[in-house]
Amino acid sequence: MSDASVAQTGDFIQDGVIAQVLDRGAAASPTEIREILAKALELKGLSLSDVAALSKLRDPELCHALFEAARAVKERIYGTRMVLFAPLYISNLCNNECLYCAFRASNRELERRALSRDDITREVEELVDQGHKRVLMVAGERYPQEGFRYVLDAIDAIYAVKRPKGEIRRVNVNVAPLSVDEFRELKAARIGTFQLFQETYHRGVYAEVHRGGPKRNYDFRVTAMDRAMAAGIDDVGIGPLLGLADWRFEILALLQHIHHLEERFGVGPHTISIPRIEPACGSDMATRPPNEVSDDDFRKIVAILRLAVPYTGLILSTRESAAMRHELIGLGISQVSAGSRTNPGGYTEREDEQAAQFHLGDHRSLEEVVVDLMSMGHIPSFCTGCYRMGRTGKDFMDLARPGDIRRHCDPNGLSTFLEYLIDFASPETRQMGERLIQDKIERMAPIPRAVSQKLVERVRSGQRDAYV
Ligand code: SAM
Ligand code: SF4
């Protein structure tokens, strides 16, 4: 695709259409709601008006039916696997003025820092030694002297770390929107997913909360995924920052964004993130978001998205408390971060709220999160197989839709989890995990059981990074 054909404006977000469907959605009858839920159970996704109707639900019985449907879809597509990753903040320098973020340029309360290559190496060594295989690299929008090269060098530094018991196998990236040429360089650096949140799709609110810097340009941000995809990055991650505009508007606009990417590139986003605004040093808005999302509404958002885009990964970060994460996992979350720090240097130096982007709701270590997931019957997965086998973008979705992806994900989840148990876990955790792996294998159908058994045996006999 030529650069000229890449969208230049966010006209695909149509406020008028969203207002209309929300109005109509409020009038949906219980019978219509049950029909929408029945359709969702066929795993075909939902239309804009279906989502609008579900977003207006209040009746406790129908809400219960919504949650049950989401649980069923989650179970059918993702089984009990849960992918784990750690964010890696490399810099908190920033030129923007996002009112909700501690990194914003005028915040004098923050200690500024951009990690050097050596600092990054140390951070990654620590993460690898904890057992991590995936990181999400994050930075503010101001790079040291070398400019965008700083980002590319940081990715290189992460992949260059080799420890006796492993390495980072997938680097996802969350940095400011780029030009098509820069995205090409990012792709050449072998990134996994390029992730960028629109924050709010509402132009008025967007202008109010982004007071300065290049991020004020709504159109440049909302078209970033067009440029990423045009540059050949076909796994992209999007999301709203919940708490800015009305959440119903945000999820409908998110759906319009997804439809736009599907129409243009034949595939939507690989993942959706649903960060809720958390308190952040020096930000009044982060303490009192203009449209705070309640826990009840947050549950609904997860369930509705699970039904609307069943094959798109849903990511939850450590912004949420352990109790909330517990609940939301059952409703549709497929990836969680664990053991996170949001200040540059936070893994090897100290967790420092004066340098962090926002305050964490969940302070548990990776192993504590692993144990919690196991106690829910989940398999913590460190798999990075798809992206390294080229199963990305449309190829991934073509495998996911008929349910074929589980042929890969289930065995790979088990083998990478066993790797973690053998190499990093305490004896008690390992014992608990081995029992769980055994139990999962016994419950599998004959073919995946045979594949899983073989893969697990390879790991047991000393092979690492075994996947199908
Ligand atoms: N600077 C780049 C940008 O803004 O796109 C990328 C990194 S930024 C640190 C990553 C994301 O953190 C932002 O897109 C925003 O959604 C989220 N964020 C900022 N402040 C937050 C807060 N107080 N609570 C939760 N998430 C926040
Ligand atoms: Fe900078 Fe991103 Fe924070 Fe905005 S959200 S102040 S761009 S780091």
pLDDT, tens digit, 9 for 90 and up, residues 370-396: 999 999 899 999 988 777 777 787 777
List pLDDT tens digits, range 159-194: 999 999 999 999 999 999 999 999 999 999 999 999
Q: Which atom of ligand 2 is nearest to the CA of 95?
A: 1
Q: Please give the full DSSP string across 335-390, using - where no structure is assigned.
A: EEE-S---STTTTTS---TTT-SS--S----HHHHHHHHHHTT-EEE---HHHHTT
Tokens coding 224:
């970033």
Distance 345 CA to ligand 1 centre (A): 18
* Helix axes 295-308 and 30-40, enclosed angle (nearest 10): 60
Q: Does the beta carbon of 140 lie inside 6 Å of ligand 1?
A: yes
Using an 8 Å Cβ cutoff, are 196 and 221 in contact? yes
**Atom 6, ligand 2: residue with shortest CA distance:** 104
Mean pLDDT of 234-253: 97
Work out whether strand 81-91 and strand 313-316 pair parallel, antiparallel, or are unpaired: unpaired
Distance 439 CA to ligand 2 centre (A): 45
More confident residue, 325 or 367: 367
Using an 8 Å Cβ cutoff, are 74 and 331 in contact? yes
Distance 120 CA to ligand 2 centre (A): 20
Q: Does the beta carbon of 371 lie inside 6 Å of ligand 1?
A: no
As a whole number of angstroms, the distance between CA 321 and CA 82 comes to: 17
**Atom 2, ligand 2: residue with shortest CA distance:** 140
Q: Does the beta carbon of 206 lie inside 6 Å of ligand 2?
A: no
Q: Does the beta carbon of 93 lie inside 6 Å of ligand 1?
A: no
Task: Indicate the range of 236-240, 296-300, 409-413 predicted with least confidence.
Answer: 409-413
CATH architecture of 3-9+74-364: Alpha-Beta Barrel (3.20)
Cite the beta strand spans of 211-306 per DSSP E.
Answer: 236-238, 271-273
Mean pLDDT of 145-160: 97
Q: Please give the full DSSP string across 124-172, using - where no structure is assigned.
A: HHHHHHHT--EEEEEE-S---TTTTHHHHHHHHHHHH--BTTB---EEE
Task: Indicate the range of 60-69, 173-182, 230-239, 364-373 predicted with least confidence.
Answer: 364-373
CA nearest 424: which of 159, 133, 81, 171?
133
**pLDDT reported for residue 93:** 97
Q: Does the beta carbon of 94 lie inside 6 Å of ligand 2?
A: yes
**pLDDT reported for residue 358:** 60
How far from 231 is each of 83, 276, 308, CA to CA, in Å?
A: 27, 30, 27
Distance 313 CA to ligand 2 centre (A): 24
Average per-residue pLDDT for the chain: 92
**Residue 11 CB partners (closer than 8 Å, separation 6+):** none
Distance 203 CA to ligand 2 centre (A): 17
End-to-end CA distance of the chain: 31
pLDDT band, residue 352 (cuts 50/70/90): low
As a whole number of angstroms, the distance between CA 343 and CA 88 comes to: 9
Judged by its nearest atom, the ligand closest to the C-alpha of residue 238 is 1
List pLDDT tens digits, range 410-427: 889 999 999 999 999 999
As a whole number of angstroms, the distance between CA 177 and CA 248 comes to: 25
The domain locations on the chain are: 3-9+74-364, 393-460
Distance 277 CA to ligand 1 centre (A): 9
Q: What is the pTM of this model?
A: 0.95
